[in-house]
Structure 1
Amino acid sequence: MSRRRDRPAIPVIVVAGFLGAGKTTLLNALLGNTVGARLGVIVNDFGAINVDALLVAGQSAGTISFGNGCLCCSVDADGLGDALSGLADPAAGLDAIVVEASGIAEPRALIKMVVAVADPAIRYGGLVYVLDAAAATLTRQLHPEIGGHLAIADLVVINKADLVDGDVLSGVLDMARELNPTAPAVVTTEGHIDARALFDPGSRPQPSDDLPRQLTLDELLRAEESGAEESDAEESDAEEESDADEHAAGECGTGHARHLHDAFTSVSVQVEGVLDPRRLAELLERPPVGCYRIKGVVWLAGAGEQFAVHAVGGFVRTERTGVRRMPRPPVSSLVVIGTGVDEVQVRADLGGLVAAPDLDDEFGILRITRHLPVPSQLPND
């Protein structure tokens, strides 16, 4: 099936972590998101699930697993590519695809497999590595390779924060930052993170709702969550008041994960003037500390068209927007999303991307266009 070239590529997010860290819990939290996102999922051993086509009546357990063993060991790049391409069918209207790796998977191998998929309809969306706050230190001692896994993560999720005290949690955060000083780290309970930090929900045409149909898994989870929120409204209000008092007092009890300065932040900048493609490429390939992803539309020196750029952990994807009429003055829009980012420095860095008026760099644009999908990979419209 042909795919329109002007449709943004779907991000493929790899969720990894040792056994019991909370990967499936995080996945269920994403599926139960309240921001209207539609997700495709490849789960555990090797199972491709198009969540939007999953009939609750037929799969009430909510998980389909194919017993082929660990993804990175039992499936080649072509097999994973076929699964991803199937989920990326435009008719599904997915916003993202999540690959939940088994607890013994090798994240490096999975990243290479995703990046190697020759389908312009998808792009690498980052490695989310999940740590069990209560067991992280001991697990690393028993399995030293986890340190290497953490070092290449684009986002570190420290889960089960409600099971430890403040000192233990601080120690796990210090360990994560020592092993990976540039990746953002978030502290969670039950794997709840802001889905909008990982991908842009609701950005694609959705399947028609004119015909009656059964609820999909993500819709069912949202419905159950909504019902629980209504039935527990008074209890929830009381807990929120308690957490607010606790936070004001500077204490760190059961609600500490909510206010541990690890919330995602977004820095949006409008930059007037054409940008220097070399400097932009350097920024995208080496994101600011604490940055999970960078996205935007830009006008570049040496190019007569607008480009969309996406970057996660140094993996860059460039797409042509189809806009060729440059406004006067040209204005580029860029957004940096992460935790603990220095907003002042980020704004200064983005503002410093404007090309000098006398810039004469014939080949500078190649630093950006090299991240375009290979022409031979693009299907005909």
Structure 2
Amino acid sequence: MSGSVLGDLFKISTWGESHGKGLGVVIDGCPAGLELNEEDIQSDLDRRKPGQSPFTTPRKEGDKVEILSGVFKAKTTGTPISLIIYNKNQRSKDYTKLKDVYRPGHSDYSYDLKYGFRDYRGSGRASGRETAARVAAGAVARKVLAELGVKIRAYTASIGPVKIDPENTKIETRLDNFLYMPDQKAAKKAEKYLTELMEDNNSSGGTIECRVENIPEGLGEPVFDKSDALLARAIMSIGAVKGVEIGSGFKAAEMTGHQHNDFYQYDEDQEISKLTNNAGGTLGGITDGSEIVLRAAVKATPSIEKTQSTVNKAGENIELNIHGRHDPVIVPRAVVVVEAMTALTLVDLLLKQMTTRLEYIKKVF
């Protein structure tokens, strides 16, 4: 299986399955001298791990990360960083009855079409648990960006039909509820909605919004490697994500040119600024120094106990009720995954930007 590598200069390679011995990632290209310890990574993994609320799978995983290489005396050495997270709470027998069944909304059928064989225990590499390795790598990328004052904050913007109200939104409160919603009133409505769905053996999707402050201008290449194109690719690679918006996103299709264009002005320091940010922080595929704003649409959890129609390998039409330990909503745990993929993309673009001008190279050498 190819396709487990991301990035050019800051490159990651993830490995492992949901019900294997563990998951991990190798990071190649992290600059030497970055202060890094396991606690730096663990704080992000704790936000993603299961079993933290009534709205996550009851699977209990500590998701404890170990640094195997690339760090000496709490500083990166410039050599590959290898991270591992051991699986401690698998129940593979829960999936034995599903090995010959194609579950709706899962990768079972497409994996069999491609490989002729698949790991049916928790979906293997297609499991949402695979994102633990991404989050671990993203925590390292986030530390690199923090050295430049870059701040990445994502939050739940909606759960099903329940959306946050901009007037009630305080981004600093996003960690004050189970759903990572920065609008406490909306969070209570969403909890009620989810409780009703769970009673009906159903699940919900939602949206995640991510904002990046203090990102340097000039990141991204004008054609295929546009900053927004690479961000969209990274976010879309998250298994449950079905759509990505940058800036005004799909609303741009309803706006006139005069409405959508971000007008310029000189501020009191004679610096150019924009009156609006419909572009979402990137123009012509290149960051313009303003806040990056992106949104991800996350589908509902496909593993539900509600009756579904499907087929099996014996050529039979059957009805399926999926039992086991599953999230009634993926969105809250995916918030930190969106942050991680954003950080990984931007760090790689940042390192590439260092060679775009001779003056930049002279500063280094």
For normalisation by structure 1, the TM-score amounts to: 0.23
For normalisation by structure 2, the TM-score amounts to: 0.24
